[in-house]
Amino acid sequence: MIEVGPTVTAHIASGGGVSVSQTVEQVAQPLADASGSTLVVEDVAPLGTGDTTGMGLFYFLVVCTIGGYLSVMVFSQLAARMPLRRQLGIVAVMSVLLTVVAFAVSTAFVGGYGATTAGLTVLLLIGIAYTFAVGLVAILLNKLAGQAAIFLIMTFAIFVNFPSAGGAMPASFLPGFWHALHGFWIGSGAMQSMRSVIYFGGAGLGGGLTILGGWIAASAALLAILQVRSASRPASDATAPREDELVAAQ
């Protein structure tokens, strides 16, 4: 927002996106020059001193994403018949461990984002929930598509997720297609929640958590349905070797 008075004041929020803040300043400066006044920049959500580009949270999101789906891809290859309960347990444990590692690496480079201890704690919890959600969706896709799931998982977690998250580019600058995805995609929910906690004192946190919670709830519900259907199949179907296993044996 630009306020014109005795001085021209540009109210920016760097935590919401450096490119947006720079654009506001570029628009405000000619106004100040034309009126012969001074441009005053008021940053209501400044970045931490170690994160001048504002990309720290996005890099944290990227590492959490990779940790979330990679563990599923590993055990789906090494133990394809692993029971669902054990898969969920592994994903839950790995979500905690990998998020803590990602957080440690992130803060080693950018510091504490200028946030309080409470804010960093909530950030860590959001990261754990997001990593678990990615793993949950990866398990679901693996059960639905089998060996072909790897492409679906990469599309879901990387090719669609990162451009629509609003991390590398603020949501207001995203093209129409990506902006539409930003309204409900999983990475967007995590990114909105993280920024809300770190830079905006929790304002708007509910929207991001709703997106994240929706993905967790929907994935859990679909997995439960698949599990019930699998358990209700005749024993002969459940124990019969699959066609791909017979081909591999030959």
Same domain, 18 and 112: no
Same domain, 100 and 176: yes
pLDDT of residue 117: 92
Same domain, 39 and 137: no
Same domain, 126 and 227: yes
For residue 20, what pLDDT band results from cuts at 50, 70 and 90? confident
Q: How many domains does the chain have?
A: 2
Is residue 122 pLDDT above 80, yes or no?
yes
Same domain, 159 and 84: yes
> Is the residue at 137 inside a domain?
yes
Same domain, 36 and 66: no
> Is the residue at 94 inside a domain?
yes
Same domain, 32 and 63: no
Contacts 24+ apart (CB under 8 A), 194-198: 194/57, 194/60, 194/61, 194/123, 194/126, 194/127, 195/15, 195/16, 195/57, 197/115, 197/119, 197/122, 197/123, 197/126, 198/15, 198/57, 198/113, 198/114, 198/115, 198/119, 198/123
> Is the residue at 61 inside a domain?
yes
Average pLDDT score over the chain: 88
Same domain, 17 and 73: no
What CA–CA distances, in Å, run from 21 to 2, 124, 205?
Answer: 11, 26, 21
Same domain, 25 and 138: no
Q: With the C-alpha atoms ordered 43, 60, 95, 121, is the resulting torsion angle positive or negative? A: negative
**The tokens 């984002």 sit on which residue?**
113
Is residue 115 pLDDT above 80, yes or no?
yes
Same domain, 98 and 221: yes
Residues spanned by the domain of 22? 2-43
> Is the residue at 129 inside a domain?
yes
Is residue 65 pLDDT above 90, yes or no?
yes
Q: Do residues 121 and 162 make contact, with C-beta atoms less than 8 angstroms apart?
A: no
202/34 Cα distance (integer angstroms): 38
For residue 18, what pLDDT band results from cuts at 50, 70 and 90? confident
Is residue 23 pLDDT above 60, yes or no?
yes
- What pTM does this model have? 0.88
User: Which helix (H) or strand (E) element contains residue 12?
Assistant: strand 8-12
Same domain, 36 and 62: no
Token digits of residue 163: 């451009």
User: What integer is the mean pLDDT of 11-26?
Assistant: 87
pLDDT of residue 51: 86
For residue 234, what pLDDT band results from cuts at 50, 70 and 90? low
Residue among 181, 183, 128, 173 nearest 156 (CA): 181
pLDDT higher at 129 or 169 = 129
> Is the residue at 101 inside a domain?
yes
> Is the residue at 50 inside a domain?
no
For residue 243, what pLDDT band results from cuts at 50, 70 and 90? very low
